[in-house]
Structure 1
Amino acid sequence: MLTRRRALLADAAAAGAASTAGVLGALDGTDPVPVPAAAPAPGPPARRALRPSAYRLQPLTGYGPPRASLARTPVRREPLLSVSGRGRTMVLTFDDGPDPRYTPDILDTLAAYEVRAMFFVCGEMADDNRDLLARMADDGHVVGNHTWSHPLLTGLSRRRIRTEMERTCEVVDAAYGEPPRWFRAPYGAWNRAAFQLGAELGMEPLAWTVDTLDWTAPGTRTIVGRVEDGAAPGVVVLSHDAGGDRSQSVRALRSYLPRLLDSGYHLTVPRRQPA
């Protein structure tokens, strides 16, 4: 990229002031926007080296079609709890994965009913299961950032929070095909740094309206009841596809999903519009 930029600037200088103004005008709005690099998190080293430029230096230009840019992400003081939509719209979300033992079954069920969902992935799980992120992209699901190692953010430094987010953004971008546009704090523990850093990385914070508490393994019938009792327009349902034995979550989805559809609910994913 730097070689290409030097060539452009050299040509502009040789052509004179008028030509220079034309070149700079053509490149307006595409100058790199540096973001301070995060220091590595304490503990064992990462499994593989990360691309240093992906979320720190934006390229001057590219050789393919440009990605649609999003409007500047607002810094919120609390996460979004519900979504807007026409009629009886709901969103199903799954945290902590992907896990090859349970996520494929969840994807199969969603595909059988042509329903899209959101998956808030942990970077260390996504890194080992990139094929599942690719399938999520193919099936039209939305992948969000759930940090790298699922820590309690309120006990971390700002630098460590940034590292947790950035490393996961790297993996999602590489495996899913685009960076995550949504973020969810582990345990629902948000703080000011999480909101600010998430916005800097272009992500909106999304919480939930209905918690299935499936991580406690309360029984398939109990999980189904919690989803059906909490169903309402705009509801965001929290379930898990990793972090333990999620066989109850898999079976529950097979039960409540067709019932919600038969009741007239539209299960979909939120969309953020390009600027």
Structure 2
Amino acid sequence: MKPDESCPGRRAVFRGAALLGLAAVAGCTGRAGAPGRPASPSARPAAGPQAARAVRPSMYRLAPIAGDDAPQGTTGKLPVRHEPILHMDTGEKSMVLTFDDGPDPEYTPGILSTLRKHDVRAMFFVCGEQVEWNKDLLREMADDGHVIGNHTWTHPLLTQMSRKAIRSEIERTYEIIDDSIGEPPAWFRAPYGAWNRNVFRVGADLGMEPLAWTVDTLDWTEPGTRKIVRRVMDGAAPGVVVLSHDAGGNRSQSVAALRTYLPELLDEGYRLTVPRRRGA
């Protein structure tokens, strides 16, 4: 299945509904996720048989984030939350960088290169339809020690779907991540930041914690590299979760902004880390 060519129109229609739906979710930031993001036209089948590449464990051991917000090292159902996690209460000067909608062969490699240069790990919430054509890129993320999260298959507005349809969207992506890197996702993020009881329940049934964000870069609006950098630096604080994107449109500003704000955060003494993964 190729990326859905109707995505731009469909997501644009969902934009207003998603913003309205956010107001009903207790504990949410009040910011929109990233509406109106089309599937990247650059997402094409990778060359060669991807299944031939053996899954290998990450070359890094991650420094875990302590606290009750991190999933424990067990599989299976988790307690159903009533609101998503908005920040990581670490008690120290650390932050989490997250990137949604990928992987994308045009923009994700630039982000991975910058993270690698500074020896920093991040979280990538991927869409299954993007993974389907970019499995090698997903494996590269995992090999570099990044945490792979579930962002559904086609990036729909889940709050307007039945539980069965929600489960299908989430389960398909859960399975392709597990099949591709040999490890199921422990974290889930709802498209557009729109959550309801069914979304929380399906995620918990699959053993995934719901993660939202503290700082929204609004990079999907293409506001300019400087504005993205300013939003990250102005919002920097212990436990902050930053939302950015590596797919779903022109993400060249997001790639360029990371090259600027990441070393600035490190210079200010922030540790950029990721939550504890299963079995870590």
Give TM-score scaled by structure 1 length. Answer: 0.74
Partner residue of 1:207 out of 203, 212, 217: 212
- Answering whether residue 119 of structure 2 is matched by residue 103 of structure 1, we say no
Distance apart, 1:204 and its partner CA: 0.2
1:256 paired to 2:267: no
Identify which of structures 1 and 2 has the higher relative contact order when contacts are C-alpha pairs closer than 8 Å and 6+ apart: 2
Unaligned runs of 5+ in 1: 1-46, 48-67
CA distance in 1, matches of 2:278, 2:153: 26
The structure-2 alpha-carbon separation of the partners of 1:184 and 1:122, relative to structure 1 and needing over 3 Å to count, comes to same
Q: Extract unaligned runs of 5+ from structure 2.
A: 1-44, 46-72
| Per-residue deviation, 1:127 | 1.0
Q: For 1:69 and 1:77, locate their aligned partners in 2 and report how far apart those are by CA, in whole Å.
A: 21
Deviation at 1:69, TM superposition (A): 2.8
Where 2:132 maps in the other structure, the secondary structure is helix
Question: What are the within-5 Å matches in structure 2 for residues 25-64 of structure 1?
Answer: none
Q: Deviations over 1:31-75 (max 9, x none)?
A: xxxxxxxxxxxxxxxx9xxxxxxxxxxxxxxxxxxxx63474110
Aligned-residue offset at 1:87? 1.8
Give the Cα separation in 2 of the matches to 1:235 and 1:175.
29
Partner of 1:50: none
* Secondary structure of the structure 2 residue equivalent to 1:94: strand
Give how far 1:272 is off.
4.6
Q: Which amino acid aligns with 2:137?
A: L
Match of 2:175 in 1: 170
Tell me the secondary structure at the aligned position of residue 85 of structure 1.
coil
Between the aligned partners of 1:159 and 1:273, the Cα distance in structure 2 is 27
1:169-248 correspondence to structure 2 within 5 Å? 169-248=174-253
Which residue pairs with 2:274 in the alignment?
269
Contact map agreement 1:71 1:274 (CA 8 A) in 2: no
Q: Secondary structure of the residue that 1:128 maps to in structure 2? A: coil
Which SS does the other structure have where 1:180 is aligned?
A: coil
Structure 2: distance between partners of 1:98 and 1:164? 17
CA distance in 2, matches of 1:74, 1:89: 26
Measure, in 1, the Cα distance between the counterparts of 2:76 and 2:276: 13
Question: Do the aligned partners of 2:188 and 2:211 also contact (CA within 8 Å) in 1?
Answer: yes
- 2: CA distance, partners of 1:71 / 1:169: 13
Q: Give the residue type in structure 2 aligned to 1:127.
A: E
Q: Does the 8 Å contact 1:91/1:117 carry over to 2? A: yes
4+ residue runs over 2 A deviation: 68-72, 272-275
Q: Distance in 2 between matches of 1:131 and 1:76?
A: 33
Aligned residues: 209
One of 127, 135, 141 as aligned partner of 1:130 = 135
CA distance in 1, matches of 2:106, 2:278: 34
Residue 9 of structure 1 is matched in structure 2 by none
Whichever residue aligns with residue 126 of structure 2, its letter is V
**What is aligned with 1:7?**
none
- Give the conservation status (yes or no) of the 8 Å contact 1:137–1:177: no
Q: How far has the Cα of 1:176 moved from its partner?
A: 2.0
Indicate the structure (1 or 2) with the bigger Cα radius of gyration. 1
CA distance in 2 between counterparts of 1:190 and 1:118 reads 20
Mapped pair 1:88 → 2:57:
no
Structure 1, 231-240 or 69-78: larger mean CA deviation = 69-78
Match of 2:123 among 118, 126, 129: 118
Given that 1:92 and 1:236 are in contact with CA atoms closer than 8 Å, whether structure 2 keeps it comes out as: yes
The residue matched to 2:223 in structure 1 has which SS?
coil
Q: Structure 2 length normalisation: TM-score?
A: 0.72
Distance 1:205 1:86 in 2: 21
Give the equivalent residue in structure 1 for 2:81: 76
Provide Cα deviations, 1:200-233, integer angstroms capped at 9, x if missing partner.
0010000000000000000000000000000000
